[in-house]
Chains A and B, each alone.
Chain A
Amino acid sequence: MRRRDFLRTTTGAASLLAAPRIGRAADSKVLRFVPQANLANLDPIWTTQYVVRNGSLLIWDTLFGVNDKLESQPQMVEAYEVTPDFKTWTFRLRPGLKFHDNEPVLAKDAVASINRWMPRDPTMGVPIKRQLDALDVVDDRTFRFRLKVSYPKLLFALGKSSTPVLFVMPERIAATDPFKQISDYVGSGPMRFKKDEWVPGSGAVFERFAGYEPRAEKANWLSGGKRMNFDRIEWKILPEAATAAGALQNGEVDWVETPYTDLVPMLKKSSGVVVDIADPLGNIGVFRVNHLYPPFNDVRARRAVQIALSQSDYMRAVVGDDEALWKELPGFFTPGTPLYTEQGGDYLKGPRKYDEAKKLLAEAGYKNEPIILLVATDVAITKAQGDVTADLLGKIGMNVQYTALDWGTVGQRRASKEPPDKGGWHIFHTWSAGADCANPAPYTGLDASGPTAWFGWPKSDEVQAKIAEWYAAPDLAAEKVIIGQLNQAAMDFVVYIPTGFFKAYQAWRSNLSGVVKAPFPVFWDVSKA
C-alpha cells in the first residue's frame, strides 16, 4: 500500500468514527436512566431490593400512595369507609382501571395481591394477617378488611413505600406462592414492561401504557396523577461509577440515580449536568451488635461503645467532607419527619468519653476477648463504617478481629445465632433508608422482641411496650409523646447505635425538567426538552 493510500484510508475511517453519536440524537420521548443497581428480577414481593421496587412503581399501581408529607393518599382506591373502632375497613376501586392486557382491575385482584403481600412484609403485613378475621370481595370494585383488633394504621400499610410495597397484580399472577418468583409482569401502572428487550445486567425498557388513566390531582411522590411524558424509559445498567458519570457528561444518558459521591464535584462543574440531593429522607447508618453473647449482652458494654462513638467520624468516612450530605443524629427517627425526636439522645452528643468507656467495659467483665467485626468490603458504606469501628474499638481497648467479607456472606453469617467464636459474630454494619425510619411500623431495626427481632436479637419489654402504644395512638400529638419515650428507652437499652444521618446526590442532564427529591425515582411529570 502506498503512503498516500494509507493516509486516505485511515483519515476516512477516523472521520466515520467521529460522526455524531446516535445516542445524542435527542429524542424527547425517550428517557435514558441509570438506576442504582442491576435490575435482575421484577418481583417486588419475592425480593425487597429497592431497584426492583423502583422498576415496579412504573409497572404496577398501588391502592394508596405516599406523598412528600408521608401521608397515605388514595391511588387506585376511589373511596373508603372505616368503622369507629378501626376494625372494619371497606375500599372501593376507581372505575376504569385496566391491566396492561386490557382486562379490568377488580376487587378480587386487589384481595389476591394483599394475600400475597402480607406474609412477605414482616413489619406490617404479617401483623395484619395475624389480626385478620376476613378479607372479602364485596363486589367487582369493593373489598373489605375485618380485623380482630383496632388497627388505625391500615392506610399507611396499604400505601407504604418501603419494601415490600403492596402492588396490585392480576389475580392469576398474585396467586403465585409469595416465596416463589413470578415471571409474568402484567400490571396496571403507567408503563408496561418490555420483557423481550430485558437483558438483566445490561438494561430494561418500559413503554407507555395508553390505557392508563391518571388521577385528576397533581402528582406528589407516589400519589396523584402519574402523567408520563415519555413513550419509552430505558434503564441502562452501568455498574462502574466513572462510566456512568462519563456517559452523563457525554449526553449518552439523561439521569443517574446515584452518582458516586467522589465524582460529584466533577459533575457539578460539567456543563449540561445538574446535581442535587436525591432523597430528602436520606439514610441512617447502623452499628448493630449481637445481644446474645458477651460482652454486648451487657448494656454496660453497649453503652461503652455508644458514648465513645463519634458520628462525625463515621459520616466523613461514608460521604466525605460535604456537610450538605450528612449530620449527626442523636436519635433513631428520620430528621425532618413529624416524629423526629432527640429525647434520650445525650449519649451521642458532646465530646466522646473514651476513659469512661474503658471503665464500663471493665465493669461488664470484658477481658480482651476477640470481637468479631463483620465488614462487607464490597459495599462502600459498610466498608467505611467498618474501618471507623475497628479504629474506635481499638481506642477503647477492645481486641478487634476485622473479618473482611462480601455483602452476600455478611448477609448469611449475621443470621447465625452461634457463639461468635463458632461462626457467629459481634458487630456488623448496614444502613436503613430514612423512609423506613419515620415511624415504628416499617422500622425493623428498632424491634426489640428478642428471638423474633432483627439480627442481633435485642430484647427490651419497655421498647416493645412503647411500640405497641404508638400503634394505638389516636393522633399525631399522642404519637409524638410516645415516640419521645420510645427513643429514650431504645437509647437507654442501646437497641443499636445510629452512626449518623446521610444523604446522596442524583444527577441529570439540564434539558430534563421535573426531577423531584424523593426516596425513589419519580418518573411522572419529568420531561425532556
Chain B
Amino acid sequence: MLAYFLRRVLATIPVVLMVALFVFSLLYIAPGDPAAIIAGDQASPEDVERIRASLGLDRPFVVRFAEWLWQVIHGDLGTSIFTNLSVAHMISQRIEPTVSLMALTLILSLSIAIPMGVIAAWKHGTLIDRVVMMVAVFGYSTPVFVVGYLLAYVFALQLDWLPVQGFTSITEGVVPFLRNLILPSVALGLIYMALIARITRATMLDVLSQDYVRTAKAKGVEQKGILFVHALKNAAVPIVTVVGIGFATLIGGAVVTESVFAIPGLGRLTVDAILRRDYPVIQGVVLLFSFTYVLVNLAVDLLYTVFDPRIRY
C-alpha cells in the first residue's frame, strides 16, 4: 500500500510537468501582450517594447521556460507581472476562500445528494423518485451564474437575510463565515449534487437488485439497515469515482461562483490573470490546480480499498 502510494505520488511529477509545459506553450502562442496593457492606450510602440524587455518577455521560449522551471523546482513560483508580488504570496492570500467554498460545497452536496439518490432508488418509479430526478436534471442543466444571481436576489435583496457578496474567514466566527458562503456553496453545489444524486440512484438500483439484499430482507433486516449499511457501502465505489471526477467541475464552477459572489479566491485570481496575461500567476495557479486534481484522484483510488476490501494495490 505504502509502495503504491509513493509510486503514485512520484507519478504526479511527470503529469504536473506535462501540464506545466502545455500551459506555458499555450500562453506563449496565445495572442495578447501584458506590456501593451501596462503601457496603456496612449503609449508608443517603443514604450511597449521597453516594458516588454524589462519584463523579460522578449527572450526565447526555451530560455523563459527553463528559467521558470528552475524557479519552480526551487519552490519559487515567480513574481506577478502586474502586482510585483510573489505568486506564492498571492496564492496564499486566495487559497482560504477557495478551500472554504469547496469544502462547504462538498459537505453540502454529499449530505444532500447521497440521501436523495438512495431515497430515489428505494422509492423507484414513485412520485418521490420522479421529483428527485427532476430536481437533479434542473440542477445539472442550470448554469451556476443563473442560480447564483437568483439566490442573491431572493435571499439577499428580497428577504434581506444574507449578504450579496464577500468572504469572511472562519477565524472571525462561524456565523459570519457561513452567512457569506452559504449562497455560493448552494449555487456551486447544485450541479455537483445533481451528478452525485443521479449516480447514487443508478448504482443503488443495481445493488438493491442483488441476491444478498433479497436475503437480508428475508432475514428481516430493517429497511434503513439494508439501504445505508449493506447497499450503500457496496454502491460507494462508483459514487466516490464520480466525486473525484466532479472535482474538476467544482474547480471550473468556482471560477464563476467567486466572480458572482465577489469571493477573493483562486478562481477569480485565475480569471484576472488570464485577462491581463499575467503569465507567472496563470502558470502558478494552473500548476496548483493540476497538482490538487491529481492528489484528489489518488485519494479516490485509496478510498476504494476502504469501501471494497477486495481491492488491493
Contact = CB atoms under 8 A, between A and B. Distances in A.
Interface of A: 14, 16-19, 21-23, 38, 40-41, 46-49, 120, 122-123, 163, 177, 179-181, 183, 199-203, 236-240, 242-243, 246-247, 249-250, 252, 378, 405-409, 411-413, 415, 430, 432, 436, 444, 452, 454
Contacts of B34: 408
A16 B162 CA distance: 10
A249 B158 CA distance: 11
B157 interface: yes
Given A17-B179, A444-B42, A415 B36 contact: yes
A329 B152 CA distance: 41
Contact of A412 (B36, B44, B54): B36
A239 B152 contact: no
Contacts of B37: 407-408, 411
A406 B275 CA distance: 8
Nearest to A447: B42
A220 to B, nearest CB: 26
A47 B36 CA distance: 10
Contact of A122 (B44, B90, B259): B44
B228 interface: no
B211 interface: no
B84 A246 contact: no
A236 B269 contact: no
A48 B36 contact: no
B82 interface: yes
Contact of A243 (B162, B165, B264): B165
Given A23-B163, A181-B84, A412 B33 contact: yes
Given A243-B164, A408-B31, A415-B36, 15 more contacts: A14-B161, A38-B272, A47-B38, A122-B42, A179-B54, A199-B264, A200-B80, A201-B268, A202-B268, A246-B156, A247-B163, A408-B36, A408-B37, A436-B42, A454-B42
Interface in B13-50: 31-34, 36-45, 47-48, 50
B282 to A, nearest CB: 12
A48 B162 contact: no
B66 interface: no
A408 B83 contact: no
A408 B275 contact: yes
B262 interface: yes
B41 A48 contact: yes
Contacts of B271: 239
B69 interface: no
B85 interface: yes
Contact of A246 (B94, B152, B277): B152
A213 B35 CA distance: 37
A247 B165 contact: yes
B101 to A, nearest CB: 14
Contact of B31 (A22, A200, A409): A409
B264 A201 contact: yes
A436 B41 CA distance: 12
A408 B277 contact: yes
A177 B55 CA distance: 13
Contacts of A242: 149, 260
A41 B82 contact: yes
B276 interface: yes
A22 B163 CA distance: 9
Given A41-B82, A181-B84, A412 B31 contact: yes
- List the 9 closest A-B pairs by CB distance, nearest first: A48-B40, A202-B264, A411-B36, A408-B32, A412-B33, A246-B164, A409-B31, A444-B42, A40-B82
Interface in B150-208: 152-153, 156-157, 160-166, 168, 175-176, 178-179, 182
A40 B272 contact: yes
Q: Which of A14, A237, A250, A413 has its CB near the most chain B CB atoms (within 10 A)?
A: A250
Given A122-B44, A177-B54, A243 B157 contact: no
A183 B166 contact: no
Interface of B: 31-34, 36-45, 47-48, 50-51, 54, 80, 82-85, 90, 93-94, 149, 152-153, 156-157, 160-166, 168, 175-176, 178-179, 182, 259-262, 264, 268-269, 271-272, 275-277
Nearest to B261: A243
A432 B40 CA distance: 12
A249 B83 CA distance: 31
Given A47-B38, A408-B33, A240 B157 contact: no
Given A47-B39, A48-B40, A239 B163 contact: no
A122 B46 CA distance: 11
A64 to B, nearest CB: 20
Contacts of A199: 93-94, 264
Nearest to B156: A250
A232 to B, nearest CB: 16
A411 B90 CA distance: 26
Nearest to A17: B179
Contacts of A252: 163-166
Given A22-B176, A47-B40, A408-B277, A180 B54 contact: yes
Contacts of A237: 262
Nearest to A236: B262
Contacts of B162: 17-18
Q: Which of A202, A246, A249, A405 has its CB near the most chain B CB atoms (within 10 A)?
A: A202
Contacts of A17: 161-162, 175, 178-179, 182
A197 to B, nearest CB: 10
Nearest to A443: B42
Nearest to A452: B44
Given A17-B182, A46-B38, A122-B42, A240 B259 contact: yes
B80 to A, nearest CB: 8
A174 B179 CA distance: 45
14 contacts: A17-B175, A17-B178, A19-B175, A19-B179, A122-B44, A123-B42, A199-B93, A236-B262, A243-B164, A243-B165, A252-B164, A411-B41, A412-B31, A432-B41
Nearest to A164: B40
Contact of B40 (A49, A240, A413): A49
